[in-house]
Copies of this chain bind each other. A is one copy, B any other.
Amino acid sequence: MEFYEVIKERKSVRKYKPDPIPDDVLNRILEAGRIAPSAKNIQPWHFVVIQNPEIKEMVAEACRGQRFMAEAPVIICGCALEDIAWGRMGGYMSSFAVDLAIAMEHMILAATNEGLGTCWVGAFVEKDVKKILKIPDNVRVVALTPVGYPAEVPRDRGRKLLKDIVSYDKY
A131 to B84, CA, bound (A): 31
Q: How many copies does the complex hold?
A: 2
Q: Which residues of B contact A170 (CB under 8 A)?
A: 48, 55, 133-134
Name the CB-closest residue of B to A26.
B166
Instruction: Label chain A's interface by main secondary structure.
Output: mixed
A1-32 interface code vs B (CB 8 A; 1 in, 0 out): 11110111010100000000000000110111
Does A126 touch B at the CB level, under 8 Å?
yes
A37 to B41, CA, bound (A): 24
Q: Which residues of A contact B (CB under 8 A)?
A: 1-4, 6-8, 10, 12, 27-28, 30-32, 34-37, 39, 41, 43, 45-52, 55, 79, 86, 88-93, 95, 97-102, 105-106, 109-110, 113, 120, 122-126, 129, 133-136, 139-143, 157-160, 162, 165-171
Q: A48-B167, A89-B122, A91-B125 are in contact. List 13 more A-B contacts (CB 8 A).
A: A2-B3, A12-B37, A30-B166, A46-B166, A48-B166, A49-B169, A51-B168, A89-B123, A90-B142, A90-B143, A95-B122, A101-B105, A105-B105
Query: Could you show 19 A-B contacts with beta carbons less than 8 Å apart?
Result: A3-B109, A3-B110, A7-B110, A31-B162, A34-B165, A35-B159, A37-B120, A39-B122, A47-B165, A49-B168, A88-B123, A89-B142, A90-B122, A90-B140, A90-B143, A91-B126, A101-B102, A105-B105, A133-B170
